[in-house]
Amino acid sequence: MASVGVVTRVLLGKNVVNRVAAANTGFVKFYSTGPAYENIKVEVVGAKKNVGLIQLNRPKALNALCGPLFVEVGQAVKDFETDDKIAAIVITGNEKAFAAGADIKEMQNNTFSGNTKKGFLQDIEDYISNCGKPVIAAVNGFALGGGCELAMLCDIIYAGEKAKFGQPEINLGTIPGIGGTQRLPRYVGKSKAMEIVLTGNFIDAHEAERMGLVSRVFPVDKLLEETIKLAERIGTHSPLIVKMAKAAVNQAYETTLKSGLQFEKAYFYGTFATEDRKEGMTAFVEKRPPNFKNE
């Protein structure tokens, strides 16, 4: 995904390295940085190198969500969140699958007591849900079960035109366990969510868009490019104000309208204590681009 002249984080064997490709020379310089990953690939992309890209990388298993993969995604999200150069995070898979569900072989012998004592896939939910930066899912292929739930954990979902979404856990004698029964009704309404969860049927990308599960649908080969463009567009704004806006929208899903309106007003008033609000309005009046400082 990296191009000549672009600095990206990639994987080389078991070492995460930074790759600097000098334009038109073919020269590549490597130096070690960050943690090693075995189930995901991590890159920094975008014209300003301000978009963190996490690619699920278990292609032989259609990116089935095993425990180690969840740990790695959680760590990568956490690392990008604490990196001041990163404006937004994109999570994707490959053209065949975003993630075709949880790893059933890994789950098969789980017990109620074991799940209760250890928790199950809780870290990934906490890391993504609590991330202050926007997290965008770029979904091609199958997003089923835990894969659909992982996409719904993100703030925005873009889909390739061949994407398939679903919660087929009912076919396995269980139910969604990473928010599928809770987030899906908030996206698509009770009746449609019941139909999806109780039948295990798949829905295609265009139906997902009509229902409000997906923001936009693109040709398969354009999906990641368009998703990165969205992340870059978000990155033109004040990171501080973006974080506040994200928190305000999330509040709408987690509280009453009255409480949400109070939260919004408090945050709106709060923006007037920031230098970026002052800069944004001053730049508008002066008819120039704003120079946000994240302050």
pLDDT digits (tens, 9 = 90+) for 248-288: 999 998 899 999 999 999 999 999 999 999 999 999 999 99
Among 43, 72, 125, 149, the active-site one is: 149
Q: Residue 111: which pLDDT band, with cuts at 50, 70 and 90?
A: confident
Angstrom distance (rounded) from CA 36 to CA 13: 9
Task: Delineate the domains of the chain, giving CATH numbers in brackets.
Answer: 37-234 (3.90.226.10), 239-285 (1.10.12)
The pLDDT score that the predictor gives to residue 121 is 61
- Per the annotation, the verdict on 235 as an active-site residue is no
Q: How much of the chain exceeds pLDDT 90, in percent?
A: 75
Active site residue 102: yes
The pLDDT tens digits for 48-107 are 999 999 999 999 999 999 889 988 999 999 999 999 999 999 999 999 999 998 878 877
**Which tokens go with 261?**
């309106």
How many other CB atoms are found less than 10 A from the CB of residue 179?
18
- Neighbour count for residue 38 (Cβ, 10 Å): 11
pLDDT at 103 (0 to 100): 79
Q: Which residue, among 233, 218, 229, has the nearest Cα to 95 in the 3D structure?
A: 218
Sequence-distant contacts of 216-219: CB under 8 A, at least 24 apart: 216/158, 216/159, 217/158, 217/159, 217/160, 217/161, 217/163, 218/158, 218/159, 218/160, 218/161, 219/160, 219/161
Which position has the higher pLDDT, 61 or 124? 61
Which candidate in 102, 137, 205, 231 is catalytic? 102
pLDDT at 110: 79
Q: Which of 146, 147, 235, 280 is catalytic?
A: 146
DSSP 203-271: EEHHHHHHHTS-SEEE-GGGHHHHHHHHHHHHTTS-HHHHHHHHHHHHHHHHS-HHHHHHHHHHHHHHH
Q: For this structure, is 146 an active site residue?
A: yes
Q: Is 169 a catalytic residue?
A: yes
Question: Given this model, what pLDDT does residue 21 score?
Answer: 33
Going by pLDDT thresholds of 50, 70 and 90, the confidence category of residue 109 is: confident
pTM given for the model: 0.85
Q: Catalytic: which of 43, 72, 125, 169? A: 169
Q: What rounded mean pLDDT belongs to the chain?
A: 87
